[in-house]
């Protein structure tokens, strides 16, 4: 088994474990809504990266079907976003909220950077860690706005 397959298997297992183990029963509906919404955002983000030639995915699960990475944007990034929404700070302090966004964005970006550096799952062409950090912060902000808007209807 090569390194990429091992990384993908570990990512799937860890993501599914975290989702099934650490999401409270009363938050499952919100978690699934977040998960599905982030699928859409992540796929659009990944598609735009590919169209503009910013990144490529040398090793893909479905290499004849698409140039996009399936696992990274289908399970890993939505898992990050679910925990971002579930543990979003209740206080309105700007500094704390900014640090929260920064922490989660750095987590997603560092994961991508490590994949780019040590595997064939991700390859930066005209992309870097800082651009990834900024775009992930924007994506998390869009996710938060949508989920909080949607949450009004769940109450």
* Per-residue pLDDT reduced to its tens digit, 104-126: 999 999 999 999 999 999 999 99
Mean pLDDT within 142-148: 94
pLDDT > 60? residue 65: yes
pLDDT for the residue 72: 87
SS3 125: coil
The contacts found for 133-142 with CB under 8 angstroms, 24 or more apart, are 133/102, 133/105, 133/106, 133/109, 135/45, 136/104, 136/105, 136/108, 136/109, 137/101, 137/102, 137/105, 139/41, 139/42, 139/45, 139/81, 140/81, 140/84, 140/101, 140/104, 140/105, 141/101, 142/41
- Using the predicted structure, report yes or no on whether residue 155 has a pLDDT greater than 80: no
Mean pLDDT of 54-70: 88
pLDDT, residue 92, reads 75
Prediction pTM value: 0.91
Residue 154: its pLDDT value, please?
61
* pLDDT tens digits, one per residue of 10-37: 999 999 999 999 999 999 999 999 999 9
Query: 3-class DSSP state for residue 53?
Result: coil
Query: Could you give the CA distance from residue 137 to residue 92 in angstroms, rounded to a whole number?
Result: 17
- Per-residue confidence (pLDDT) for residue 101, from 0 to 100: 95
């Amino acid at each position: 088994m090569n390194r990429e397959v091992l990384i993908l298997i570990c990512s799937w297992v860890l993501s599914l474990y975290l989702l099934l183990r650490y999401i409270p029963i009363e938050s499952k509906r919100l978690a699934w809504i977040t998960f599905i919404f982030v699928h859409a955002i992540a796929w659009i983000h990944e598609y735009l990266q590919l169209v503009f030639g910013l990144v490529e995915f040398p090793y893909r699960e479905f290499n004849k079907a698409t140039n996009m990475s399936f696992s990274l944007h289908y399970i890993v990034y939505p898992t990050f976003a679910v925990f971002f929404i579930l543990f979003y700070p209740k206080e309105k302090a700007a500094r704390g909220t900014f640090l929260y966004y920064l922490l989660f964005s750095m987590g997603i970006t560092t994961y991508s950077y490590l994949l780019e550096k040590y595997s064939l799952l991700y390859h930066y062409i005209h992309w870097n860690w800082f651009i990834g950090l900024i775009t992930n912060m924007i994506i998390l902000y869009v996710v938060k706005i949508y989920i909080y808007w949607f949450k009004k209807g769940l109450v």
